[in-house]
A and B are shown apart, each in its own frame.
With several copies, the nearest count.
Chain A
Amino acid sequence: MNKNTLGIFGLLVAIFAITALLNDKFISAYNMQNLIKWSSLYAVMSIGVAFVIITGGIDLSIGSVVGLVAVVLAYQLKVKGIDPGQAIITTMCMSLLIGLIHGLLITKAKIQPFVVTLCGLLIYRSLGRWLTDNQSLGPVPLEDDKGYANIDTINSLDQIFSGKIAITDSFNLPTPALFLLALGIAAALFLNRTIWGRYLFALGNNEDGARYSGINTDNMKIIAYVICSFMAGIAGILFAFELDSVQPAQTGEFYELYAIAAAVLGGCSLRGGVGSILGVVIAAAVIRLIYNSINMLGISTHLEFGILGIVILLGVMADEFLKRYSAQRAAAKQKES
């Protein structure tokens, strides 16, 4: 854990401690379970956007991708009665394709990421509504629902994506946490232990320089967008099974802002070239924790957004301040020696 990650981890611990102190039910197994579950769902999404932000780009479309993936999945299962495994594969391919299109438009047609993904935000949302005629759909069948094929498979998928694993008598680990663990470790390995991860950092800092070093910067950027959409796709599936109901117009709305906020709070710089997966995951947890604390402490829900905004702002300011301070200290030290 490096210095930046330590800061956000400190924040997590602080809010955690304060809430636990003020409300003794906060640390109940059930609440922890929920906190872990929601944190995992949002963190998966945020990891994806971190990749894009590290390349110096942005992805505003993830909320809509989450929505579209959830819609298409539920549509296939409920309306078309398609084999569940196949349905999952189709939606994953769709999210990969979306990422690929983003990447190609950004690198080959040279349109700015902000524009491409803003249009994506609009288009995918629209597609989902049009496909289902805006009917809400549940991916998981109720007792006497018709139209679903392979109800058993669907139910076991439901167990996989939104089930629980008993750890102790009272504590069950929600399966999304396992997804987060696997994807988070894979992402961190990719970023820090493979040459491609290094290429992403390099091009995020100096794209021309990376290209002159023989790196295929276009391909690397495309990969980043594909990863981002893919993670949003996974999150879409997780959300669909978690909520058991998908509303084409609403599912995933505004999630891009959460994800970007988590990435920034977790130490990614929107200028590119900087970021850590661990930081982003912790930051996603902090955001969920803030929501949970607001509920636990009985603060008006009207203030949720505001508190979140203030925490992010203060977090980023503190980070900026610490960086400058430590740079000064280092300089002073160097001078002494």
Chain B
Amino acid sequence: MAEARTPLLEVRGLCKQFPGVRALHEVALELHQGEVLALIGENGAGKSTLMKILAGVQPADSGEYLIESEPVRFQNVRDAMAAGVALIHQELNLAANLDLAANIFLGREPNQFGFFQNKNIHNEAAKFLKRVGLDLPTDTLVGNLPIGKQQLVEIAKALSCDARVLIMDEPTSSLSQTETETLFEVVHDLRRQGISIIYISHRLGEVKELADRVTVFRDGENAGDLAKDEISHDAMVRLMVGRDLSEFYDRQIHSPGKVVLDVEQIRTPEHPNTEVSLKIHAGEIVGIAGLVGAGRTELLQTLFGVTPALGGTIRMNGELIRPQSPRDAIAAGMALAPEDRKLHGLVLPMTVRENASLASLKRDQNKGLLNFPAEEAVAEEAVEQLQIKTPHLEQVTRFLSGGNQQKIVLGKWLALTPQLLMLDEPTRGIDVGAKREIYRLMEKLAGEGMAILFVSSEMEEVLGMADRALVMHEGRIAGELARNELSEQAIMQLATGTPLAA
């Protein structure tokens, strides 16, 4: 069992402490040449922190870090790159004001006395972009690309580093099916070339498909390893959360009630020439599937008044509304848990209490004065109902894990008991435990008669949770699938613009 060859990269007894958070405690990790090591664990388990240490972004407090048995201590990213370690960050880190080629070679431009030698970099960049399935002119500005495509650029950039060790921190979190598959091919390709990969994902299906070995973290410590033949969904979950999780998608079919949302022929600023119509009933969970950039986020944002509609009508409970801002939409009974929870969902430097009560302050006000008891009650209720793990209500939300942050966003909206809850990628970057809780919550809310509209790029999620799925393609709804018609193949067909064979 124990392999004789020395690991390419090894970490022993590593500790890392953030103000108020013990991120890593005595963790160990081994990576061999040419293997794909999957690193999994709940939100906040310390995966990204360890990867940042490996890639020289931040230093460890203590512990050993060896490459080919040689102890190393990277001062910065450049050192790590020189040693052949490259990291694809969980958050996007591109310069939006530069073009694709510039971004891919940022920090490694061929130059003479500091002056660019520009000749080849566009060709080179195009090669790497093609490899990740991006067929765009290399002088396109990155800022003009949707987030999913930016993720691909990020991957192309890492590929161009010629690294021996490539770390991918949730590379697929904003990719859809096809792009994910392209990425898998790239990973297989790299492995064949003898490059070692650390792959972090919350999508256990991906892990199963790709990984040669799995290392599991829990609360900043090693929770166990799985060899290739031990990798199974249940085993991974057991190590991650410390117990079995059964009945992942626990759905009951409710008979849908009256129409809550009735949208007719609205046009969004991103897709001004296509019209979208849809209806959502009380007690119904409707999923929206589609490829990245299909206009799903845009649709939700338009309904929520973030980017007002160009035309068409929106009715809530039969009443015509024209949401010009989220405020209008909220007043009409809508709520949106946005795609980017750090940017749009939360005010990170504020506390759990302040975030959970932010939307309901206005309702609970007393002639403009804050109603502190009511505020406290709202926050407490959210923490209790959603089982948010936080030491106290005054904890700053920045220090919470992704799943708990997402729950606070939900708690904020549930305090207002909206009639229509919209969720944009509700489980993006969220670990299995939290995921299941969110699914349960959706089920419970639907049972109570709330209409739920969610966008997801995870096929499984759509298949598992939706009573009905709408599939978007290039800004329009390409098709609608009832629960009994739902299948991976049907969704993919519609999402890529091929009509379903009748």
Contacts and interface: CB of A to CB of B under 8 A. Distances in A.
Contacts of A205: 95-98, 347-350
B327 A209 contact: no
A209 B95 contact: yes
Contact of A212 (B19, B87, B97, B273): B87
A203 B94 CA distance: 10
Interface of B: 17-22, 57, 76-78, 81, 87, 89, 91-98, 102, 106-109, 111, 114-116, 157, 270-273, 304, 306, 325-327, 329-331, 336, 338, 343-350, 354, 358-359, 361-362, 365, 368-370, 412
Interface string A134-145: 000000000000
Interface in A304-337: 327-328, 330-332, 334-335
Given A193-B369, A209-B346, A215 B106 contact: yes
Contacts of A211: 57, 76-77, 306, 325-326
Given A201-B350, A213-B77, A206 B95 contact: yes
B344 A209 contact: yes
Contacts of B111: 194-195
A206 B367 CA distance: 25
A327 B106 contact: no
B303 to A, nearest CB: 13
A211 B93 CA distance: 9
Contacts of A335: 17, 22, 271-273
A216 B327 contact: yes
Contacts of A203: 95
A194 B358 contact: no
Interface in A270-324: 273-274
Nearest to A211: B326
A214 B270 CA distance: 23
Contacts of A210: 95, 106-107, 347, 358
A17 to B, nearest CB: 34
A195 B93 contact: no
Between B87, B95, B343, B361, the greatest number of chain A beta carbons within 10 A of the residue's beta carbon is seen for B95
B343 A331 contact: no
A322 B94 CA distance: 26
A198 interface: yes
A204 B97 CA distance: 9
B192 to A, nearest CB: 27
26 contacts: A193-B116, A195-B365, A195-B369, A196-B368, A198-B109, A198-B358, A201-B98, A202-B354, A205-B347, A206-B94, A206-B343, A209-B92, A209-B93, A209-B343, A210-B95, A210-B107, A211-B57, A211-B76, A212-B87, A212-B338, A213-B359, A214-B329, A214-B359, A216-B327, A273-B96, A327-B20
Contact of A193 (B93, B115, B157, B273): B115
Given A205-B349, A216-B325, 18 more contacts: A194-B114, A195-B365, A196-B114, A198-B102, A198-B361, A202-B97, A205-B95, A205-B98, A208-B344, A209-B92, A210-B95, A212-B326, A214-B77, A214-B108, A216-B327, A273-B97, A331-B20, A335-B271
A215 B21 CA distance: 28
Nearest to A326: B19
A51 to B, nearest CB: 15
Nearest to A336: B273
Contacts of A215: 106-107, 327, 358
Contact of B347 (A194, A195, A209): A209
Q: Which 5 residue pairs across A and B have the least CB separation, nearest first?
A: A209-B93, A327-B19, A213-B107, A214-B107, A202-B95
A108 to B, nearest CB: 13
Interface in A202-243: 202-206, 208-216
Contacts of A208: 91, 93, 343-344
Contact of A195 (B271, B304, B361): B361
Interface of A: 193-199, 201-206, 208-216, 273-274, 327-328, 330-332, 334-335
Contact of B96 (A194, A197, A206, A331): A206
A98 B350 CA distance: 31
A206 B116 contact: no
A335 B310 CA distance: 15
A331 B17 contact: yes
Given A194-B369, A209-B93, A328-B19, A202 B358 contact: yes
Nearest to B92: A209
A332 B57 CA distance: 23
B232 to A, nearest CB: 34
B488 to A, nearest CB: 31
A64 to B, nearest CB: 31
Contacts of B89: 212
A332 B330 contact: no
A198 B106 contact: yes
Given A209-B343, A209-B346, A195 B20 contact: no
A331 B108 CA distance: 33
Contacts of B365: 194-195
A328 B19 CA distance: 6
A97 B277 CA distance: 44
Contacts of B81: 214
Nearest to B269: A331
Contacts of B17: 331, 335
B350 to A, nearest CB: 6
A27 B369 CA distance: 41
A226 B271 CA distance: 38
Given A193-B370, A215-B107, A209 B330 contact: no
B74 to A, nearest CB: 11
A203 to B, nearest CB: 8
B19 A195 contact: no
